[in-house]
Amino acid sequence: GVNPDEVVALGAAIQAGVLMGDSNVKDLLLLDVTPLSLSVETLGGIATPVIERNTTIPTSKSQVFSTAADNQPSVDVHVTQGEREMATDNKSLGRFILDGVPPAPRGVPQIEVTFDIDANGILNVTAKDKGTGKEQSITIQGASGMSEEEIEKMKKDAEVHAEEDKKKKDVIETRNKADGLVFQLEKMMRENDDKISDDLKKPVNEKINALKDLLKDEKADTEAIKKATEELEQEAQKIGSEIYKQAG
C-alpha cells in the first residue's frame, strides 16, 4: 500500500505547486475543489451562488449586491452551502450584519461581498460598502468539513427537488422584478412629472395600480404577474420616449 505520510506530503506538494504556479501540476488540479456551491441569501430567500461547486481552491470571488428597501441601514449577509435554490433548504454556515449603510433609495448602495477560500478550505466572507469603505467579515472553518455521504445526499436532495425549487425561485424572481419596475417607474414619473402628458400618465398609473394589487395578493398567479409586468414595461417605454423628446 501507499505510505500515508507520503500521501499527505504529496498532496501538500501538489497544493504548494498550485499556489506557486508550477506548470507541471496543472493536470492535477482536480485535487481540491469546493464540493458544493457557496451562496449568499438574497431578496425573497433565494440562495445566490458566489462560488459554484467544483471550483478549484484556493479561490476568491466577489459580487456586488444592494439594498432591498429605502434607507435600509444595514445588510444581513447569510452564507449557505448546497445546491438548492432557496437558502433555507441549504446548510447555513454563518451570518453577520454590515451596518452603518448611509440612507439612500433602495438599489443605490453598492455592497461588495467577497468569498475567499484558502488552500486549507477555510472560508472568509467579507461585505464592504463601496460608498463608505466600511466592511465586516466572518471566518468559517467547517465549510469543507463534510463527509462524502453528506455531500452526495445534498446533491441528490437538490436533484429530487429541482422542479419545485425552480418554480419557487421563479415566483420570487417574478415578484422581485415586478416590484422593482413599479418602484423605478413611480420614481421616474415623480422626477419628470412636467414632461409627461396626462394622456400617458393615466394608462401607466392604471397599470401600476393593477400590478400593485396583484403583488398584494400572495396567491396571485405568477403568469398573470409576468403579463402585467410586460404590459407595464411597454407603457414605460412610451414614457421614456416622451421624456427624451422633451429633452431634445
Chunked in runs of 10, what are the mean pLDDT values of the chain (248 residues)?
40 38 40 86 90 92 88 90 95 90 88 90 92 93 76 94 95 92 91 89 93 94 96 89 82
d(CA 135, CA 17): 32
What pLDDT is attached to residue 148? Answer: 85
CATH superfamily of 32-160: Substrate Binding Domain Of DNAk; Chain A, domain 1 (2.60.34.10)
Strand partners, 135: 128
Give me the sign of the Cα torsion angle 79, 80, 85, 86. negative
Class of domain 164-247: mainly alpha
d(CA 239, CA 241): 5
Of 146, 147, 128, nearest to 137 by C-alpha is 128
The reply to whether 32-160 and 164-247 are identical in fold is: no
| Interacting residues of 125 by C-beta distance below 8 A, sequence separation 6+ | 40, 77, 79, 94, 96, 113, 114, 115, 116, 137, 138, 140
User: What does pTM read for this prediction?
Assistant: 0.78
What pLDDT is attached to residue 10? Answer: 38
d(CA 163, CA 150): 22
Structural domain boundaries in the chain: 1-31, 32-160, 164-247
Quick one: DSSP state of residue 39?
E
Strand partners, 197: none
What pLDDT is attached to residue 15? Answer: 37
SS3 label, residue 2: coil
Of 247, 245, 243, 239, nearest to 205 by C-alpha is 239
Strand partners, 92: 80
Kindly report the three-state secondary structure assignment for every residue of 186-243. HHHHHHCHHHCCHHHHHHHHHHHHHHHHHHHCCCCCHHHHHHHHHHHHHHHHHHHHHH
